[in-house]
Amino acid sequence: VLCEVLKMVIHNDTQYIAVPYSEPQFHLTPLPHTTPQWGGVAVIDPSGSIETLSPSEAAASPILDTQQLYPEKLALQSVAATKYRNGILNTYTSHEDEIEIAPLPGDGNDQPFFILSESGPQYVVAVEPYGDAQGLQELWTIDGQSGSFERYVPADSLFGPQRAADLVRQSAPQTDWDRFSPAEPILTVIDDREYWQVRVIPEDNSGIAYVAFVDARSGDVDSFEQTDAITQFLAGETPVETPTETEPSETTAETPTVIVQRVAENGTVIETMTVYDDESVEIRTPTNSTAGTENTTTRALGS
């Protein structure tokens, strides 16, 4: 049995702990093997007593009303397993219609993302084509209570969440990206057009600095700090707050003289460093590792 992260639940002023879990299901063909399936939810009351509920019992429990019941890790594993839709051999040969979970920048910024929708809690998982492409191939939503899966396949070519996060960084070069990071890109449809909704948060996770909407076709970025402006944009209205290349209150107001970017082979921006007028850049290249000497190139800014 594989247990999920503990979740605190309050019901009638009493605190409970809910633990969704999965369990193995055995198969004899084509070779004996097991696959994970949703086992249910364990509910722990204040006295320490544990009640194990089946999926149907958990859905009917008043204690767990509106709570996420389906295991988060199982949701991700189930989507990832669709890479074998054309057979195991396909993943070693032609890779036809093979998918992979879209990677995202930053630590602790992993899928699936959890959202509260009008129909209840949902998990969201974006997948990309196999390989170095950063386009969106499919978007999966998983009902957090029933475990039902739905798949959205875009009719047109859209770029994926990793590219959206990169565009948010590029749209705001004045932001200190050593202290902020784009998080949880979620595909949102506004007036029949797809946008990646990206939250920009401080590294200490103390809140949300602003929300950026990235057009999944054109790459245009609109950013808003105020909740009312965000709500208006989601409703397809023109926000009162003018969209800008967002300038959070904690970012530096001074314009950098040089912006240094560390870029991966596939073009993804890994790290950005800003350098100002009173600073210099040093590039060190080891020339003799045994002697410990280095060749240093220094450029003073403004000279």
Q: Look at residue 229 in the predicted model and tell me its pLDDT.
A: 94
pLDDT band at 255 (very low <50, low <70, confident <90, very high): low
Which residue has 């409970």 as its token pair? Answer: 16
According to the model, what pLDDT value does residue 251 have?
43
pLDDT score of 18 more than 70: yes
Radius of gyration over alpha carbons of the chain, in Å?
24
Question: What percentage of residues in the chain have a pLDDT greater than 70?
Answer: 83
List phi, psi (to 5°) of 249.
-65, -25
Cα separation of 65 and 58, whole Å?
A: 9
Residue 241, pLDDT score? 64
Integer Cα distance of 210 and 245 in angstroms: 11
Q: Please give the average per-residue pLDDT across 239-261, as a whole number.
A: 59
Domains of the chain: 1-68 (no CATH), 70-153 (no CATH), 161-234 (3.10.450), 258-300 (no CATH)
Close Cβ partners of 99 (under 8 Å, ≥ 6 residues apart): 82, 83, 127, 128, 129, 130, 137, 138
> Quick one: pLDDT at residue 252?
40
- Pair 144, 70: CB distance under 8 Å: yes
Mean confidence (pLDDT) of the chain? 85
Q: Residue 280: pLDDT band by 50, 70, 90 thresholds?
A: confident
- Residue 287's pLDDT is 59
Q: Around 86, how many Cα atoms within 13 Å sit in the side-chain half-sphere?
A: 11
Those residues whose C-beta lies under 8 Å from the C-beta of residue 240, and which sit 6 or more positions away, are: 226, 228, 229, 232
Is the pLDDT at 176 greater than 80, yes or no? yes
Residue 47 phi, psi (nearest 5):
-80, -10
Q: In whole angstroms, what is the distance from residue 202 CA to residue 238 CA? A: 27
> Under DSSP, is residue 74 helix (H, G, I), strand (E, B) or coil?
helix
Cα–Cα nearest to 7, from 78, 70, 60, 62? 70
- Report the pLDDT averaged over residues 232-251: 66
pLDDT value of residue 205:
80
Give burial (CB, 10 Å; 0-12/13-18/19+) of 163: buried
Task: Find the mean pLDDT for residues 80-100.
Answer: 94
Tell me which of 233-237, 261-265, 275-279, 284-288 is least confident: 284-288
Question: Is 198 exposed, middle or buried (CB count within 10 Å of its CB: 0-12, 13-18, 19+)?
Answer: buried
